[in-house]
Chain A
Amino acid sequence: MPLFLIAGIGTGLATASQVIQGNVGDFSVNNGPWRTWPAAGSPNIDPYTRGHFLVYGRLPMSTFEAVEYIATADSEGSKLDPSCNYVIQGPMAPARWWRLTARQNDSHEIAPAESVLSQTALIEPNNHIKVVASREPQPGNWLRMPSQSYLEFTLTLFSPASSVKSGHAPVPLPKIVKEACS
């Protein structure tokens, strides 16, 4: 009987967690290493997208206001490692402004250096960016990484262009390339 309960509850929680995180199902859309939830903040939001935000105590914003992309792996598909440096480089999707953060999954706080904002970032020609994420200060756009074992990058496009709002189109986004590890 206890085995039955453990197996049943474990299966239910594990499958729910996997779908909510976007690892299973069609509720999220992948764009390179970035993943977004197109139904976020829409009146027709599905329970899994709602869960993706609210289970972690976050209120979803409509795609009209903001589109959020989350990366837990680099462009090669390797899980992000906080002991490594990463270069986030490439074209940025058109939006009124954007914010790139490095955060721990359980952290509610985003320290100033753990985010790069479009209005203070150095933007290369053709709206390309180059951000170095590391624990040590770097020249140019530096994204300080948290000193925990888990890491994810979040790119939020505020007031995005209409081409971005649907969340389905392959919008231009920067690549995440692993560099040296300590």
Chain B
Amino acid sequence: MRRRLFWIIAIVLLGLTVHLAYVLFVPNMEMNRIMSAAAETHGSNRFLVLDEQEAAQVLGQQSLAFVQGICVLDLAQGPVLVTLETPASYWMANVYSRKGDNIYSLNDRQVSEVPFSIVVERKKARLFTFELEETAPEDAAFRVSTGDRSGLFVVRVFVQDPAYRTRITRTLERSTCKAQLTAEAIQVPGSARTP
């Protein structure tokens, strides 16, 4: 009887461990896969408009109703400036954390002028450090702070008519995503000034 009880408890504990591991780690692994798939092909801090096949591979869903653009955010060197050129259509932009959480959303009704900029920056942990304030990044309409070193920017533009797809893609391709090097990152130790 005791032996049977022991195995039942052991199975329950193993089941609980597997359950938690699956729920907590598999989504993170999948988000890492999404970001790696995009970064390996096109690099970080680069804006990319996905074709239909890439959208299925990277974002896991292909929809002819959207033109989708992404930028893998690498915030290790400093803030990243996303400048969006969006067509006059319904669109939505999202910033996802490294865990896949949607930490910022924006749509066409919140923006009066295009192109416009979004700065994504990393929250500074200032505890026990005494740092000078860094130069504020280029002025931007919207500012997003995250605790992660990396993330994913996704913009989806609704295609009202398939005939507009090429035009929407071309407009969206004018968007940019680039790292804004902070003064700290630009400074090269030991570099000499030339007269």
Contacts and interface: CB of A to CB of B under 8 A. Distances in A.
Whether A and B are associated in the same complex: the answer reads yes
Interface in B129-164: 152, 154, 158, 160, 162
A11 B15 contact: yes
B64 A110 contact: yes
Contact of B90 (A9, A10, A60, A158): A158
Contacts of B78: none
Given A55-B26, A57-B60, A108-B61, A62 B18 contact: no
B14 A12 contact: yes
Contacts of B105: 41, 61-62, 64-65
B100 A50 contact: yes
A8 interface: yes
B23 A20 contact: yes
Contacts of B61: 57-58, 108, 110
B53 to A, nearest CB: 9
Contact of B33 (A7, A57, A60): A57
A12 B19 contact: yes
B34 interface: yes
A4 to B, nearest CB: 6
A108 B92 CA distance: 20
Interface size class of A (residues with CB under 8 A): 35 or more
Nearest to A96: B90
A88 B70 CA distance: 34
A8 B94 CA distance: 38
Nearest to B31: A54
A29 interface: no
A8 B14 contact: yes
Contact of A57 (B20, B30, B152): B30
A43 interface: yes
A123 B21 CA distance: 46
A13 B18 contact: yes
Nearest to A109: B62
Contacts of A11: 11-12, 14-15, 18-19
Given A54-B27, A96-B90, A111-B64, 18 more contacts: A8-B17, A9-B15, A11-B14, A12-B18, A12-B19, A16-B22, A43-B102, A54-B26, A54-B28, A57-B34, A57-B59, A59-B96, A59-B154, A62-B94, A62-B102, A97-B158, A109-B56, A112-B64
Interface of B: 7, 10-24, 26-28, 30-31, 33-34, 56-57, 59-65, 90, 92, 94, 96, 99-103, 105, 107, 109, 152, 154, 158, 160, 162
Interface of A: 4-5, 7-13, 15-16, 19-20, 41-43, 45, 47-48, 50-51, 53-62, 64-66, 96-97, 99, 108-112, 115, 117, 119, 158-159
